[in-house]
Structure 1
Amino acid sequence: MLAMQYEITLPADYDMDVIRARATGNGPRLDDFPELGLKAYLMRERGVAGSPVNQYGPFYLWNTPAGMNAFLLGPGFQGLTDDFGRPRVRHWTGLAYEEGGSAGAAPRIAVRRRWSVPDDARLTEVAEEAVREAGRLASLDGAVCAAAGVDPYHWEVVHFSLWEHDSPKAEGDAFQVLYMNTPERDRLSSHRLARSC
């Protein structure tokens, strides 16, 4: 599993209804995209829920690198690039994915928390803690799902969770969920951190 996100920061006076219309209008095009576990069309709006910026920041969970590459090098991402310029794309190797107690609900809020791995940290312990935290988040009231990943170039861990209500029980950057694709979400649960030898 691979987690992926890009963020497009927009002017303070940008009409965010354009982003809402883009998500709901273009969203169904990926409803059956091969190897896509989940895509959440995310937005932060300046002055709403403490956001300092207007931002479009979709988050993806891919079952394979081939699926991610097919999207990034295909017409859908090219259309976004044509409209907004080419954003830098972050990606993390997946450590865990857990369905929450509200897995069947439509999510309203997403929370993303990124943190740097200290230089003196034991990496096995960091990974195990990231997996435990994904499980803890998924167990909380209102959780739709939770995932964790690691970027071993920047040594950064990401936690991503989706919530059915406007009061998520997770810390981090909160985004409004505008639309979600889940063509191969059922395959995400098979991704677990391999135990060390």
Structure 2
Amino acid sequence: MHAMQYEITLPADYDMGIIRERVAAKGHLLDDFPGLGAKAYLIRERGVDDSPVNQYAPFYLWNTPEGMNSFLWGRGFQGIVDDFGRPEVQHWTGLAFARGAARSAAGAGAKAAIRRRIRIPAGTHLGGLASELAEETARLTRQKGALFAAAAIDPRTWEALHFSVWDHESPKGQGDVFQVLHVSAPERDLLAQGRQW
């Protein structure tokens, strides 16, 4: 599993209705994309859930590198580049994935997502940290309203990531809170459950 996200930060007075309309018109185009475990179409609005910015920030869980590459080098990502410029694409190596107690078909009913990034200090026992992150992923998905969760690490920057999707608008947890506009999850059930090593 590979986790991937890009963030498009928009002006403070940007009409986020434009992004909502874009997702309503185009979100379904990845509903059957090969190699895609799940894509959450995410936004943050300035002043909502403590967000300092307006932002469009889709988050992906890929089953295969071929799927991820097909998206990045294909029409899907080129549309983002054409409309907003080329954003930095962050990616993390998958550690764990779990489906939640609020399991629904393909993420239907998703309302919010939480992304928590953690700097990994030098001297941290990496195997122990990876195990803790995997255990926390499983714990998250036992909470009421959890649809799915994932943990991953970027070994270039030594940043750990927790990402979770919820069926209610104000999930409890630390991190950046996003509104979910749509979830495409053609291969969510093929994402390996549990730790990925």
**1:20 aligned residue:** 20
Distance 1:98 1:190, change over 3 A: closer
Q: Secondary structure at the match of 2:133?
A: helix
**1:76 aligned residue:** 76
TM-score, with structure 2 as normaliser: 0.96
Q: Secondary structure at the match of 1:111?
A: strand
Alpha-carbon deviation of 1:191? 6.1
Give the Cα–Cα distance (whole angstroms) in 2 for the partners of residues 192 and 49 of structure 1.
30
- Structure 1 runs (4+) deviating above 3 angstroms are none
What is the correspondence of 1:1-197 to structure 2 with a 5 Å cutoff? 1-104=1-104, 105-190=108-193, 192-194=195-197
User: CA contact under 8 A between 1:37 and 1:63: conserved in structure 2?
Assistant: yes
Q: Secondary structure at the match of 2:66?
A: helix
Equivalent AA in structure 2 for residue 38 of structure 1: A
Superimposed CA distance per residue, residues 57-77 of structure 1 (whole angstroms, 9 cap, x where no aligned partner): 000000011110110010110
The RMSD of aligned alpha carbons is 1.0
Identity level (%): 59
User: CA contact under 8 A between 1:43 and 1:175: conserved in structure 2?
Assistant: yes
Q: Structure 2: which 5+ residue stretches go unaligned?
A: none
Q: Structure 1: which 5+ residue stretches go unaligned?
A: none
Q: Secondary structure at the match of 2:160?
A: strand
Give the Cα–Cα distance (whole angstroms) in 1 for the partners of residues 83 and 111 of structure 2.
26
Superimposed CA distance per residue, residues 128-181 of structure 1 (whole angstroms, 9 cap, x where no aligned partner): 011011111111111111100011100111000001112213210000000110
User: CA contact under 8 A between 2:42 and 2:180: conserved in structure 1?
Assistant: yes
